[in-house]
């Protein structure tokens, strides 16, 4: 390989008049501003497509002629100035955060994710997790939240998919030239790229930092492809979810530990760190190390306080989806770190990687590490919150299921990113500016009723036409690239029907998503799609993970089906599902189908993207749909059943799908009056927009994270670090005292005052308890009666605090409380002692509960 002695970048010579173009290109605000996208398309339509919608690359490649022409085109220049003005206003206007909170200081929150899906030209995402992270940043920007993003800068990113003639998936990795992306290298004081070092076994690994402006938000991407590193280390940040387990731990060290170091080097010292999935959980260790180093706290003190400054969001109910590292690998990378930096024993360190406290740790689980390190933990839909509690129940022995400290915040989508230009303009006309600024306001959405049916339907139909045109183009391209015959090419040009009921299905080809479910009964499917009066068509897309043979087989199977003569024109598979393909699909489909195996879809977000676009959801009651479904706005598959016989489940659920399409979806869609409008369908579209629009968006989601987690966490952190971490040290000492004394807590006596065989509704049932607390006092604990009805076989689930009553001359404490008998039936009760302290988010986070009777 040639070693160059120098490098330089050639930048286009942009006429003075057009300089704002550069500014616009370098802020991803354009990715959710239709006017800006239109501007780039207008500048050079062909190049815009060729560069995969990358304005920076486009400005680098565009001919000087084209630029001069645009500079002399008054209408273009005024279009550009309008967008420039919009960006300026956007960056300067007063936001939700400034109006309502405006805590001092910048960059209070750091959001870490292994992938970010911001726009199609930036291949640093693979699927839902990435798009969610991207949408999180965009809404944080709209809301004005003092947040920064941290991720990795993958040179090859995620793969491009193409299929061979027999339908087998192949992967192509495209090298991204960061210098031609909307990002800039972070420089140090001397104008040189800022470099950060990490200790790796027997060597140092160096990385540089790229910054992307996402509206108001800075996203920092870490890149190990620098000359200081050996060839292997240069590749650490090469691919997303590629390589082996060792690559994985290296990437996660760069992301977590490197991420914190990078922020500090840029003088960004976040109070709250959000780990979006466990990949970034090492960040918690680095935060502890820094507190120890700069403020002289012990490991335990630092860990105790830092717990309140971390947020962990889990995204998978599948244990296989969680990173687990063997202890040997952890030892290799962290041996020095925990012994010399954190100054703890191996036993102490390895216990951080598990939530199972009564067994020696066998490996290091990143989700467990994140849970041990974060006071705020959540799943991504209501159902997933419950599923996560089940999955990790064994880590919370003694704690009633309902009270396991795992919350849920349902995912959303960034409205302006996923909404078509046509529908956006229509909604803007009827809902007004407020709809763009605050899609989480349900008042705004009520005006959907004012949109004339005709207009809504025409707008939607226009998008369906665009989708069909896009699909034909793509398919033709695919056939040409595969070396198809002239007949095949001609056939690809005339697939689908612009008027037919169009059902979309696009997602990763993980087996639990059951992409081939609709193909279970081919005859029935054929009769549905080829009904001459009421035709139905399917558009399918999705990538299988490169190592997932099963997923690839599913794709191949679908390709075989789409070649059957009677299905050929009605069912198409679009290659290379990415944000661009997704956009056409969610904007143009009538129905969005989702049939995962419940409860494995943590949330799912693609179905949310169709809402404002006027599409209707048809899904298993899983993920977000489990809490969204109502009969007047979409369709469900099944009634929340879970099966052990999976064959049987597929049989039942595929039949429900056919049945629902035939008996409900098709009739409503094709029920047209004189004016050809499907009035009942349009009513459902409007219901779906009105009821789901304000809820399933990232504005609502980011506001929820802010209110529930970020601001609470920030307040705790400020309190704890005040007066040179006085409270932190006190709190940590208190915790130690609590652990030391917990086993000394004893229930000496429990008496039922005025015991009576029969109680009437409305009466109180008083209980007095005599309790020994060791060195603890009533200030340290809460004593509760835990009670509920037991006659229906369910667990007790209510509690009431007892009051400490003074009694002299004894070493024990006395408590009194009353059960409110507000219903008939048999009640059961027990007593429990819980930790009590202002700092605690909830009394269960220390894992300490003392029950009056042993809990199994
Ligand atoms: C939205 C989106 C996803 C996530 O969809 P799910 O419903 O969660 O499967 C995946 N990939 C792309 C390209 C997307 O745009």
Q: Are residues 183 and 307 in the same domain?
A: yes
Domain end residue (candidates: 647, 678, 696): 696
Q: Are residues 214 and 354 in the same domain?
A: yes
Ligand 1 lined by 418 (C-beta under 6 Å) = no
What's the average model confidence in pLDDT over 33-51? 96
Ligand 1 lined by 577 (C-beta under 6 Å) = yes
**Confidence category of residue 810, pLDDT binned at 50, 70, 90:** low
Q: What is the CATH number of the domain that holds 144?
A: 3.40.50.2000
Tell whether omega for the bond before 644 is within 30 degrees of 0, i.e. cis: no
Ligand 1 lined by 366 (C-beta under 6 Å) = no
Interatomic CA distance for residues 620 and 610, integer angstroms: 16
Choose among 327, 385, 342: nearest CA to 704: 385
Q: How many domains are there within the chain?
A: 4
* Residue 715 located in a structural domain: no
**Confidence category of residue 73, pLDDT binned at 50, 70, 90:** very high
The ligand 1 atom nearest the CA atom of 513: 9
Ligand 1 lined by 542 (C-beta under 6 Å) = no
Q: Are residues 199 and 348 in the same domain?
A: yes
Mean pLDDT: which of 7-21, 232-246, 457-471, 819-833 is highest? Answer: 457-471
211 CA to centre of ligand 1 in angstroms: 25
* Residue 410 located in a structural domain: no
* Residue 401 located in a structural domain: no
* Residue 505 located in a structural domain: yes
Q: Are residues 237 and 326 in the same domain?
A: yes
Q: pLDDT of 280-299, one tens digit each?
A: 999 999 999 999 999 999 99
The DSSP code sequence of 27-62 is BGGGGG-HHHHHHHHHH-HHHHHHTTS-HHHHHHHS
Q: pLDDT of 528-553, one tens digit each?
A: 999 999 999 999 999 999 989 999 99
Q: What is the pLDDT of residue 13?
A: 85
Choose among 668, 571, 587: nearest CA to 423: 587
The ligand 1 atom nearest the CA atom of 609: 1
Q: Which residue reads 């509704």 in tokens? A: 761
User: Would you say 567 and 594 are in contact if contact means Cβ atoms under 8 Å apart?
Assistant: no
Ligand 1 lined by 44 (C-beta under 6 Å) = no
What's the average model confidence in pLDDT over 703-713? 97
The predicted model scores a pTM of 0.96
Q: What is the pLDDT of residue 756?
A: 67
Q: pLDDT of 372-392, one tens digit each?
A: 999 999 999 999 999 999 999
Query: Token pair of 677, please?
Result: 């409008």
Q: Are residues 79 and 113 in the same domain?
A: no
Interatomic CA distance for residues 82 and 436, integer angstroms: 17
Choose among 260, 259, 213, 253: nearest CA to 236: 253
What Å distances lie between residue 670 and 535, 631, 663, CA to CA? 9, 18, 11
What is the domain extent for residue 466? Answer: 430-696
Residue 856 pLDDT > 70, yes or no? no
Ligand 1 lined by 579 (C-beta under 6 Å) = yes
Ligand 1 lined by 504 (C-beta under 6 Å) = no
* Residue 5 located in a structural domain: no
608 CA to centre of ligand 1 in angstroms: 10
Q: What is the pLDDT of residue 190?
A: 95
Kindly report the protein residue whose alpha carbon is nearest to atom 5 of ligand 1. 606
* Residue 8 located in a structural domain: no
**Confidence category of residue 808, pLDDT binned at 50, 70, 90:** low
What's the average model confidence in pLDDT over 832-849? 95
Q: pLDDT of 454-473, one tens digit each?
A: 999 999 999 999 999 999 99
Beta partners for 772?
Answer: 746
Residue 791 pLDDT > 80, yes or no? no
507 CA to centre of ligand 1 in angstroms: 6
Ligand 1 lined by 604 (C-beta under 6 Å) = yes
First CA to last CA distance, the chain: 65
State the DSSP H helix or E strand holding residue 680, giving kind and residue range, or none if neither.
helix 679-692
User: Would you say 578 and 134 are in contact if contact means Cβ atoms under 8 Å apart?
Assistant: no
**Confidence category of residue 757, pLDDT binned at 50, 70, 90:** low
Ligand 1 lined by 582 (C-beta under 6 Å) = yes
128 CA to centre of ligand 1 in angstroms: 4
Q: What is the pLDDT of residue 827?
A: 80
What's the average model confidence in pLDDT over 427-438? 93
Residue 565 pLDDT > 90, yes or no? no
Residue 732 pLDDT > 90, yes or no? yes
Query: Strand, coil or helix: what is 501?
Result: strand
Q: What is the mean pLDDT of the chain?
A: 94
Q: What is the CATH number of the domain that holds 727?
A: 2.60.40
User: Would you say 369 and 353 are in contact if contact means Cβ atoms under 8 Å apart?
Assistant: yes
The DSSP code sequence of 555-618 is HHHHHHHHHSTTTTTTEEEESS-SHHHHHHHHHH-SEEEE---TT--S---HHHHHHTTT-EEE
Ligand 1 lined by 374 (C-beta under 6 Å) = no
Q: pLDDT of 150-197, one tens digit each?
A: 999 999 988 999 999 889 999 999 899 999 999 999 999 999 999 999
* Residue 423 located in a structural domain: no
Q: Are residues 435 and 386 in the same domain?
A: no
**Confidence category of residue 22, pLDDT binned at 50, 70, 90:** very high
Domain end residue (candidates: 45, 67, 92): 92
Q: Are residues 288 and 242 in the same domain?
A: yes
Burial class for 16, CB neighbours closer than 10 Å (0-12, 13-18, 19+): exposed
Q: Are residues 81 and 111 in the same domain?
A: no
Q: Are residues 84 and 211 in the same domain?
A: no
Q: Are residues 75 and 203 in the same domain?
A: no
Q: Are residues 684 and 779 in the same domain?
A: no
Out of 52-61, 445-454, 477-486, 674-683, least confident range: 477-486
Interatomic CA distance for residues 720 and 367, integer angstroms: 26
* Residue 687 located in a structural domain: yes
Choose among 127, 238, 46, 131: nearest CA to 576: 127
Ligand 1 lined by 681 (C-beta under 6 Å) = no
Interatomic CA distance for residues 141 and 116, integer angstroms: 15
539 CA to centre of ligand 1 in angstroms: 15
Ligand 1: residue of 138, 582, 584, 603 to mutate (most ligand atoms within 8 A of CB) is 582
Q: Are residues 485 and 591 in the same domain?
A: yes
Ligand 1: residue of 31, 115, 117 to mutate (most ligand atoms within 8 A of CB) is 117
Domain end residue (candidates: 677, 696, 715): 696
């Amino acid at each position: 390989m040639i070693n160059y002695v120098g490098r330089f970048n050639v930048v286009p010579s942009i006429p003075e008049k057009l300089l704002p173009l550069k500014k616009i290109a370098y802020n991803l605000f354009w990715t959710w501003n239709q006017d800006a996208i239109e501007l780039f398309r207008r500048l050079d339509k062909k190049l815009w497509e060729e560069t995969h919608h990358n304005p920076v690359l486009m400005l680098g490649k565009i001919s000087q002629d084209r630029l001069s022409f645009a500079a002399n085109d008054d209408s273009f220049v005024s279009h550009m100035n309008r967008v420039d003005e919009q960006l300026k206003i956007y960056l300067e206007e007063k936001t939700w955060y400034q109006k309502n909170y405006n805590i001092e200081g910048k960059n209070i929150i750091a959001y870490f994710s292994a992938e970010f899906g911001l726009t199609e030209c930036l291949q640093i995402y693979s699927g839902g997790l990435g798009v969610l992270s991207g949408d999180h940043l965009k809404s944080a920007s709209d809301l004005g939240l003092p947040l920064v993003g941290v991720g990795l800068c993958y040179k090859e990113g995620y793969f491009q998919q193409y299929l061979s003639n027999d339908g087998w998936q192949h992967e192509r990795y495209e090298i991204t030239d960061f210098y031609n992306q909307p990002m800039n290298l972070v420089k140090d004081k001397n104008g040189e790229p800022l470099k950060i070092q990490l200790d790796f076994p027997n060597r140092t690994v160096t990385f540089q930092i790229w910054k992307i402006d996402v509206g108001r938000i800075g996203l920092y991407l870490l890149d190990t492809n620098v000359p200081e590193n050996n060839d292997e280390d240069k590749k650490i940040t090469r691919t997303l979810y590629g390589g082996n387990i060792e690559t994985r731990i290296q990437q996660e060290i760069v992301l977590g530990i490197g991420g914190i170091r990078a922020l500090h080097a840029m003088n960004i010292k976040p109070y709250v760190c959000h780990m979006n999935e466990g990949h970034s959980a090492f960040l918690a260790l680095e935060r502890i190390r820094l507190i120890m180093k700069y403020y002289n706290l012990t490991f335990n003190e630092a860990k105790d306080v830092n717990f309140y400054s971390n947020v962990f969001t889990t995204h998978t109910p599948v244990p296989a989806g969680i990173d687990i590292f063997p202890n040997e690998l952890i030892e290799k990378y962290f041996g020095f770190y925990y012994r010399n930096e954190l100054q703890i024993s191996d036993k102490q360190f390895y216990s951080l990687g598990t939530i199972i406290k009564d067994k020696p740790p066998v490996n290091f689980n990143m989700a467990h590490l994140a849970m041990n390190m974060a006071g705020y933990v959540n799943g991504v839909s209501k159902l997933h919150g419950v599923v996560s509690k089940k999955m990790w129940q064994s880590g919370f022995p003694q704690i009633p299921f309902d009270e396991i400290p795992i919350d849920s915040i349902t995912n959303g989508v960034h409205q302006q990113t996923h909404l078509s230009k046509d529908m956006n303009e229509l909604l803007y006309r009827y809902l007004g500016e407020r709809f763009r600024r605050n899609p989480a306001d349900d008042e705004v959405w009520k005006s959907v009723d004012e949109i004339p049916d005709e207009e809504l339907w025409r707008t939607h139909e226009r998008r369906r036409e665009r989708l069909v045109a896009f699909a034909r183009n793509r398919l033709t391209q695919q056939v040409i690239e595969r070396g198809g015959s002239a007949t095949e090419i001609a056939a690809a040009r005339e697939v689908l029907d612009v008027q037919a009921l169009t059902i979309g299905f696009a997602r990763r080809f993980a087996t639990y998503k059951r992409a081939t479910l609709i193909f279970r009964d081919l005859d029935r499917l054929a009769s549905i799609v080829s009904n001459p009066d009421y035709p139905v068509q399917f558009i399918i897309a999705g990538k299988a993970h490169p190592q997932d043979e099963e997923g690839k087989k599913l794709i191949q199977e679908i390709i075989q089906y789409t070649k059957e003569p009677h299905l050929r024109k009605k069912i198409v598979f679009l290659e290379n599902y990415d944000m661009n393909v997704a956009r056409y699909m969610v904007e143009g489909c009538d129905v969005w189908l989702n049939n995962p195996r419940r409860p494995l879809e943590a949330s799912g977000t693609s179905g949310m993207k169709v809402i404002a676009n006027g599409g209707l959801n048809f899904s298993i009651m899983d993920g977000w749909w489990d809490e969204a479904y109502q009969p007047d706005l979409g369709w469900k598959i099944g009634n929340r059943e879970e099966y052990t016989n999976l064959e049987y489940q597929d049989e039942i659920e595929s039949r429900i799908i056919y049945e629902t399409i035939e008996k409900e979806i098709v009739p409503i869609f094709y029920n047209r009056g004189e004016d050809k409008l499907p009035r009942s369908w349009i009513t459902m579209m409007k219901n779906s927009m009105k009821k789901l629009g304000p809820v399933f968006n990232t504005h609502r989601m980011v506001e929820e994270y802010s209110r529930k987690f970020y601001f609470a966490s920030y307040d705790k952190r400020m309190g704890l670090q005040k007066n040179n971490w006085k409270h932190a040290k006190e709190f940590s000492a208190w915790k130690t005292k609590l652990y030391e004394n917990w086993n000394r807590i004893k229930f000496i006596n429990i008496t039922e005052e005025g015991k009576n065989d029969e109680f009437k509704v409305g009466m109180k049932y008083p209980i007095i308890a005599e309790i020994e607390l060791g060195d603890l006092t009533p200030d340290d604990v809460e004593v509760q009666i835990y009670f509920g009805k037991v006659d229906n076989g369910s667990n007790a689930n209510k509690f009431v605090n007892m009051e400490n009553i003074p009694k002299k001359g004894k070493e024990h404490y006395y408590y009194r409380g009353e059960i409110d008998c507000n219903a008939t039936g048999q009640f059961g009760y027990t007593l429990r002692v819980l930790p009590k302290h202002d700092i605690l988010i909830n009394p269960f986070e220390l894992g300490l509960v003392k029950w009056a009777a042993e809990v199994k």
